[in-house]
Structure 1
Amino acid sequence: MTTKPTPFELHPRLAADSLPVKTLGLCELRLINDSRWPWLILVPRRPDTVEFHDMTGLDQTMLTFELGLVSKPFKALTGCDKLNIAMIGNMVPQLHAHIVARSSGDANWPGPVWGFGEAVAYEPGVADAFIDDLVKAVFPL
């Protein structure tokens, strides 16, 4: 007897803390709803995936490709000094990769964004405009 595969479900905390941007080949691309710094996450749409090594080699390659696909235009769009890219996941066990645009003088520069202050949600319409600009930058016509 075969068992039905577990479907992918976005972790509730990631869903609550972020806004959808676009579905890529492997990942859900999302914007963290914190206007203090531009912050994206890529969440591989694979169930029960906690660590990078839990994925197949092909999925590992695809995640790396999608990080590159998004990060270069994201850096150009934000004009940041540095991108912080990490797969930490101590608070949320579902594998996800962070891409945080950091600039000299931003909140808590040069310290980490994690655990610093309280999130400041985007004003209505601002996140939508940023998402539109990001999608155009990553996927130009």
Structure 2
Amino acid sequence: MFELDYRLQNDCVEVGELMLNRILLMKDANYPWLILVPQRDGISEVFQLDEDDQEQLIWESSFVAERLMDTFNGDKMNIAALGNVVPQLHIHHVVRKQTDAAWPNPVWGAVPAKAYPRGALRQRVLALQLAFETSVFKPAEPPAA
């Protein structure tokens, strides 16, 4: 049975699910930052997914990236799967703008995480759910206001 790593649970809120991936929003208001987590047990690398899941991962990653860029009008989309701290396969999708706190450097450790103001986290989740609205997207319960 799939279980989300406790660090991802602590650092993120759930936006919803696609056919393969759970979509999480990083609790860092510095950037529009989503994480896709393939709902498969014991997977730490993309090559460990079967061929169908690899194809689905690419489709879902592209879908999320395009919707993020459209929603937040970014200058660049950063997509990365590191896993040095959290071994569970998860793929970061970060909308970058030339005006963001870390530009042009990577976001990891550049500046402290910035909490969402009261109510803003819920609004961000609702906006993302609207952007991902399709027959294959299942929204999660938004966080309380």
TM-score, with normalisation over the residues of structure 1?
0.91
Which residue of structure 1 lines up, in the alignment, with residue 57 of structure 2? 63
CA distance in 2, matches of 1:71, 1:140: 15
Alignment-derived partner of residue 42 in structure 1: 36
Q: What does residue 46 of structure 2 align with?
A: 52
Q: Which has the higher contact order (CA 8 A, sep 6+)?
A: 2
Quote the residue 2:5 is aligned against. 11
**Unmatched runs of 5 consecutive residues or more in structure 1:** 1-6
Deviations 1:54-103 (CA, angstroms, capped at 9, x unpaired): 11011111111111111111101111101101111111100011100000
Q: Indicate the structure (1 or 2) with the bigger Cα radius of gyration.
A: 1
**What is the Cα-based RMSD across aligned positions, in Å?**
1.2
Secondary structure of 1:130 counterpart? helix
Aligned residue pairs, count: 135
Letter in 2 for 1:99: H
**What is the Cα deviation at residue 124 of structure 1?**
2.1
Partner of 1:84: 78
Q: Residues of 2 paired with 1:73 and 1:14: CA distance?
A: 22
- In the TM superposition, what is the alpha-carbon distance from 1:137 to its structure 2 partner? 1.3
Distance 1:49 1:140 in 2: 27
Superposition deviation, residue 117 in structure 1: 2.5
Task: Please give the secondary structure, in 1, of the residue aligned with 2:89.
Answer: coil
- Mapped to 1, the partners of 2:85 and 2:11 lie a distance apart of 12
**Pairing partner for 2:118 from 124, 128, 132:** 124
In structure 2, give the amino acid aligned to 1:59: D
Percent of aligned pairs with the same residue? 40
1:35-66 Cα distance to aligned partner (Å, 9 max, x none): 00110000000010000011101111111111
Distance 1:43 1:66 in 2: 11
Matching residue's letter, 2:50: T
Equivalent residue letter for 2:117 = E
User: Any gaps of 5 or more consecutive residues in structure 2?
Assistant: 136-145
Secondary structure, aligned partner of 1:19:
strand
* Deviation of 1:140 (Å): 5.7
Q: Among 74, 84, 90, which residue is 2:68 paired with?
A: 74
TM-score (norm 2): 0.89
> Hey, what does 2:138 align to over in structure 1?
none
